[in-house]
Structure 1
């Protein structure tokens, strides 16, 4: 009887460990590495980014991460900038993903498709599932004056921008962008599938939704209407505003990560540990640590 009791306890412990492995995981997050061989501008130390990226990846490689994601503006301009940082990025031990930023398209017109290929992005917007989470990567450059590549997308860009430019909105700037109707329709199908699968949803994008300022995605109002019925949406992580920001709106965490390229002597990156009811952000250097409770 005593041996049976010990066996039952061991089985319960094994089961508990398995559940923990299944539900808890950690990821790496970097934003706005934004390298180019350029002089300092707007407190951005472009030439220091390769070393900062190297140091961040060295730290991230100490951990067991499900994946690492860069939230856009991997380079500032010039396709040759990738030659200085892609080899370092490829030393990541974890799986890795990229979000497209506006500066990633600051290359020659014929090189824009090459940028996407070099970053190993098969689709400009996409999703992937890890544990009970569906992570949706948006392309905020889908409609934009630098990232819209096809004639049809360029026409849609003009149409969206012109429909908003007289509304006195702070974020209707030519350095931002928007989501096409095709991407919005895809997004709706992703949300429906996540709801059917009982998955939690987190978004990655270069452009923020909140707080409202000069950095937001153009059709943020349309996006908010789309996600409104889905109570499984839990966070929206982005870059673009290098100062960083945070708001909790309707139990959704809108978090802007600080730019790695900024300041003379400090970097910024983070890990995020996902548990059953909390996302623990562990910030490095300028990036603050946070506890994001999942309601």
Structure 2
């Protein structure tokens, strides 16, 4: 057989193999477990959270998941609350990740950095790869009145809050937060890497971008300007607004997952399947099931 024929045969086989590569995977998502040994408030049943977390993990463990992620507010307050729910979280069979929420910092000032360590985080914001996706985990508490831990970050927090103060933004609340310039620059680096490696991008954050209400991240406009040129950005998953929400803007799916801690007798969590051109959210209890088509 001629060398050219061998080369052609090899190329055809290579292309055929690439087409048959399975790029699908499944993950688990929980938002706002928000446990504390506290009385019911705002229809949040804090003491029911461990039971609901245990039940959700039992369901997730029945499937073969690439990873599971909690979208912030693992606890409501008190550092000791972690000792009740972390052992349960560690029974997950899949790899697991945490997003930092505002309530995760509702502990003594001297223990705030310890919360980050106990959640197993070496960095407050980070990224990881799964199949053809780059997932970027944001820290919306980077600039905040609860999560800014250095004098410089506290100064930046005051600056951005005062700068936005005259714009009458519905989300300029002290329980929300913002992204620092350092984090925004890091996000751009991550987006450029995703382009270079031909990866789709998904964001995880505690605070939403859409729809606009009292829960959004402070400098959402700055974030949107940053991601606008990147057509590979496909989704933004978050918690914080316990009612849940959905909006699609510029071909990006913005999904707010419902809070697990809410209501007397029901939970909320999800499994999510990623296919090449579609994302399927299988909601449990109050969480809605959705089909998200990638464009």
Give the TM-score, by structure 1 length. 0.94
Partner residue in 1 for 2:63: 63
Provide, for residues 253-277 of structure 1, a one-character-per-residue CA deviation record: whole Å limited to 9, x for no partner: 0000000000000000001100000
User: Residue 86 of structure 1: CA displacement?
Assistant: 0.3
Q: How many residues align?
A: 282
User: Residue 16 of structure 1: CA displacement?
Assistant: 8.8
Alignment partner of 1:95 is 2:134 = no
Provide, for residues 191-215 of structure 1, a one-character-per-residue CA deviation record: whole Å limited to 9, x for no partner: 0110111100000000000000000
Q: Distance in 2 between matches of 1:90 and 1:196?
A: 35
Partner residue in 2 for 1:120: 120
Compute the RMSD of aligned alpha carbons: 1.4
1:255 is paired with a residue whose SS is strand
Q: Distance in 1 between matches of 2:253 and 2:228?
A: 14
Provide, for residues 173-200 of structure 1, a one-character-per-residue CA deviation record: whole Å limited to 9, x for no partner: 0000000000000001000110111100
User: Residue 165 of structure 1: CA displacement?
Assistant: 1.2
1:86 is paired with a residue whose SS is helix
Alignment partner of 1:224 is 2:224 = yes
Partner residue in 2 for 1:201: 201
Any residues of structure 2 matched to 1:134-149 within 5 Å, and which?
134-149=134-149
Runs (4 or more) in structure 1 with deviation over 6 Å come to: none
Provide, for residues 219-251 of structure 1, a one-character-per-residue CA deviation record: whole Å limited to 9, x for no partner: 000000000000000000000000000001011
Q: Distance in 2 between matches of 1:112 and 1:272?
A: 31
Partner residue in 2 for 1:240: 240
Stretches of structure 1 lacking an aligned partner (at least 5 in a row):
1-10
Q: Distance in 2 between matches of 1:137 and 1:18?
A: 30
Partner residue in 2 for 1:50: 50
1:269 is paired with a residue whose SS is strand
Q: Distance in 2 between matches of 1:289 and 1:215?
A: 22
Q: Distance in 1 between matches of 2:228 and 2:62?
A: 38
Partner residue in 2 for 1:251: 251
Q: Distance in 2 between matches of 1:66 and 1:135?
A: 13
Change (3 A) 1:269 1:17: farther
Q: Distance in 1 between matches of 2:249 and 2:221?
A: 14
User: Residue 17 of structure 1: CA displacement?
Assistant: 10
Give the TM-score, by structure 2 length. 0.94
User: Residue 18 of structure 1: CA displacement?
Assistant: 5.8
User: Residue 98 of structure 1: CA displacement?
Assistant: 0.1
Q: Distance in 2 between matches of 1:208 and 1:101?
A: 12
2:178 is paired with a residue whose SS is coil
Provide, for residues 20-63 of structure 1, a one-character-per-residue CA deviation record: whole Å limited to 9, x for no partner: 2xx01000000000000000000000000000000000000000
1:48 is paired with a residue whose SS is helix
Q: Distance in 1 between matches of 2:20 and 2:265?
A: 42
Partner residue in 1 for 2:21: 19
Partner residue in 1 for 2:80: 80
User: Residue 166 of structure 1: CA displacement?
Assistant: 1.3
User: Residue 19 of structure 1: CA displacement?
Assistant: 1.7
Q: Distance in 2 between matches of 1:160 and 1:17?
A: 48
Provide, for residues 114-170 of structure 1, a one-character-per-residue CA deviation record: whole Å limited to 9, x for no partner: 000000011000000110000000000000000000000000000000001110100
Partner residue in 1 for 2:110: 110
Q: Distance in 2 between matches of 1:224 and 1:125?
A: 18
